[in-house]
């Protein structure tokens, strides 16, 4: 287990930021901590990276307890914070070399490592330009490179794409993907459902300082409800006939669309095709629709709120 968090509480004065956070991250996986602003993501990351002390609970990172042995933890992790410390006047390469020197790499190794990382994140061409000329996506990739100087076992990325345009976001996503092949464990926080869906092996959905749901994107989606078969007809006149052939579908006459839930998507598709074909009804489109993570999020956070009100 690369990260083990159990029953962690953190208060700022009388305000509770984390209230019983649990988290387990397997070595070599990408784990997303997904939650809205104020959910406690940065607080959790600061605790796991030894920058902040928790009030209660157990936190082990890369095999070491953050309280008992913070130095051992620090030696094995990298952190990309929400605000990174790059020197604007220096080139990307110089920034990386500087980070390397700060981590006692020695001039030669720091230089080699800088070049390797620039290359890896598609910054080889721009590596000699001053950072102030970089786009948002380039900066963030440079941040990422800097956090990897020490070849960490566990890398923490706190909202790595917040504030980036779609292109910058895509650049950072591909950079994160390239890390995973190398065996690094990544914990990333995000407010973007799509980001968690794209990058993470598992997702912990957090709300008000604790985990509301945890699992793969597919598992979380299946908690909202089953897949739906959606079929669009060509001819409005056949709508009622088609509806009678399918298992209790919803019907939208304006878009000529019928939909119904299925446990087994292949069986659902086959049933629909057979029914329509048998009756000689033409379909313009036939698809399976899965619930989106957005729907999962609304569903689960709503339920959490309801339980709290009820309790």
Binding site for ligand ADP (CB under 6 A): 12, 15, 17, 35, 37-43
Task: Count CB neighbours of 170 within 10 A.
Answer: 14
The piece of 11-19, 42-50, 128-136, 278-286 that touches Mg ion (CB under 5 A) is 42-50
Binding of residue 49 to Mg ion (CB under 5 A):
no
- E strands of 26-176, at which residues? 30-34, 56-61, 64-65, 77-80, 154-158
The piece of 1-9, 39-47, 91-99, 285-293 that touches Mg ion (CB under 5 A) is 39-47
85/17 Cα distance (integer angstroms): 25
What is the closest distance, in whole angstroms, from the C-beta atom of residue 15 to ligand ADP in the complex?
A: 5
What is the closest distance, in whole angstroms, from the C-beta atom of residue 214 to ligand ADP in the complex?
A: 16
Q: Which residue has the tokens 């990307």?
A: 92
Q: Which residue's CB is nearer to ligand ADP, number 37 or number 83? A: 37
Q: Which residue's CB is nearer to ligand ADP, number 81 or number 100? A: 81
What is the closest distance, in whole angstroms, from the C-beta atom of residue 192 to Mg ion in the complex?
A: 13
Q: Which residue's CB is nearer to ligand ADP, number 153 or number 195? A: 195
What is the closest distance, in whole angstroms, from the C-beta atom of residue 40 to Mg ion in the complex?
A: 8
Q: Which residue's CB is nearer to ligand ADP, number 11 or number 27? A: 11
Strand-strand pairing, 250-252 and 257-262: antiparallel
What angle (nearest 5°) sits at the alpha carbon of residue 13, between those of residues 12 and 14?
Answer: 105
Helices (H), 225-285: 239-245, 265-279
Task: Count CB neighbours of 237 within 10 A.
Answer: 9
| Contact (CB, 8 A) for 32 and 200 | yes
**What are the backbone dihedrals phi and psi of residue 203, each rounded to the nearest 5 degrees, phi first?**
-130, 130
What is the closest distance, in whole angstroms, from the C-beta atom of residue 23 to Mg ion in the complex?
A: 16
Q: Which residue's CB is nearer to ligand ADP, number 14 or number 248? A: 14
In sequence order, the β-bridge partners of residue 262 are: 227
Binding of residue 42 to Mg ion (CB under 5 A):
yes
Among ligand ADP, Mg ion, none, the one that 169 touches (CB under a kind-dependent 5 to 8 A) is none
What is the closest distance, in whole angstroms, from the C-beta atom of residue 37 to Mg ion in the complex?
A: 7
| Contact (CB, 8 A) for 82 and 42 | yes
| Contact (CB, 8 A) for 67 and 4 | no
Count of residues of this chain found to bind Mg ion when the rule CB under 5 A is applied: 2
| Axis-axis angle for helices 92-102, 107-120 (nearest 10) | 130
Among Mg ion, ligand ADP, none, the one that 229 touches (CB under a kind-dependent 5 to 8 A) is none
Q: Which residue's CB is nearer to ligand ADP, number 42 or number 147? A: 42
Interface residue list for Mg ion (CB under 5 A)? 41-42
């Amino acid at each position: 287990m690369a990260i083990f968090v159990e029953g962690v509480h953190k208060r700022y004065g009388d305000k509770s930021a984390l209230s019983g956070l649990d988290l387990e991250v397997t070595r070599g996986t990408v784990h997303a901590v997904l939650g809205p602003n104020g959910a406690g993501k940065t607080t959790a990351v600061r605790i796991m990276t030894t920058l902040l002390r928790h009030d209660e609970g157990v936190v082990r990172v890369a095999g070491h307890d953050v309280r008992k042995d913070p130095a051992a933890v620090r030696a094995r992790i990298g952190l990309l914070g929400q605000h990174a410390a790059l020197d604007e006047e220096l080139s990307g390469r110089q920034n990386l070399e500087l980070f390397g020197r700060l981590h006692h790499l020695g001039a030669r190794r720091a230089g080699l490592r800088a070049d390797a990382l620039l290359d890896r994140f598609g910054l080889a061409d721009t590596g000699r330009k001053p950072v102030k000329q970089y786009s948002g996506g380039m900066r963030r990739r440079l941040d990422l490179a800097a956090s990897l100087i020490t070849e960490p076992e566990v890398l923490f990325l706190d909202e790595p794409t917040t504030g980036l345009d779609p292109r910058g976001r895509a650049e950072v996503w591909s950079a994160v993907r390239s890390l995973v092949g190398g065996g690094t464990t990544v914990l990333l926080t995000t407010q973007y459902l799509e980001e968690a869906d794209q990058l993470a092996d598992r997702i912990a959905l957090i709300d008000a300082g604790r985990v509301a749901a945890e699992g793969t994107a597919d598992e979380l989606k299946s908690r909202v409800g089953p897949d739906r078969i959606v079929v669009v007809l060509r001819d409005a006149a056949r709508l009622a006939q088609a509806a009678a052939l399918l298992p209790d579908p919803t019907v939208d006459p304006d878009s000529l669309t019928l939909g119904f839930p299925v446990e087994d998507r292949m069986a659902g598709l086959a049933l629909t095709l057979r029914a329509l074909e048998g009756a000689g009804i033409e379909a313009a489109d036939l698809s399976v629709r899965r619930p989106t993570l957005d729907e999962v999020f609304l569903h689960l956070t709503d339920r959490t709120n309801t339980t709290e009100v009820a309790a």
